[in-house]
Amino acid sequence: MKKIIKHELVEVQIPAGTTLTRFMFPDVANLRNTKILGLQIYENGQVPFSQLSQKAVSTQAINNLAYVSFANYGGKYFLNKAPARMFQTFAINSASNTAYETDTKSFTMQMVNYPQSYVEVAQSVALLALVDTVFLFSVYYYDINDVTDKATFSRKK
């Protein structure tokens, strides 16, 4: 089990009936000036609705259509069109009604410029998005400005 430093639930909005193929990550204040440790994506069978009561995307959309790209603050993409399914590491065993995690993807504390990062789909999701939906992500991160965290990880002399 990995220690969670900090967590933020991020919603990438997909308007109903859109014909767009690229959806930008929002500029979340808590994620500015942070270093990413991990990422997970949830489908509507795991987390049916976002905090804004919008429906999470389907497993089909994640597995067959979606790709994730992360930019750093220099404008370079260190994660470029990675299949979203590689970040779908949370599952529910319907027979026993238990949840489990598999192979959570880790990052090496890169700094992500979220407003320049996006989820891209292979084709328009208009048929999948008859109502407003979201790509729902858990972002695990380290805040470099948090004095509490710096004290926790510093060596004592």
Residue 58 domain-assigned (yes or no): yes
Which is higher by pLDDT, 110 or 50?
110
Query: 34-77, pLDDT tens digit by residue?
Result: 999 999 988 887 777 777 778 888 777 787 789 999 999 999 99
Query: 126-157, pLDDT tens digit by residue?
Result: 545 678 888 899 999 988 877 554 445 555 55
Residue 72 domain-assigned (yes or no): yes
Task: Spell out the residues 6+ positions from residue 7 whose beta carbon is closer than 8 angstroms to its own.
Answer: 138, 139, 140, 141
Pairwise CA distance, residues 157 & 148, whole Å: 17
Residue 11 domain-assigned (yes or no): yes
- The number of folded domains in the chain is 1
Owning domain of residue 11: 6-152
Task: Spell out the residues 6+ positions from residue 71 whose beta carbon is closer than 8 angstroms to its own.
Answer: 77, 78, 112, 113, 116, 117
Residue 1 domain-assigned (yes or no): no
Residue 66 domain-assigned (yes or no): yes
* Global confidence as pTM: 0.80
Residue 157 domain-assigned (yes or no): no
pLDDT in the model for residue 48: 73
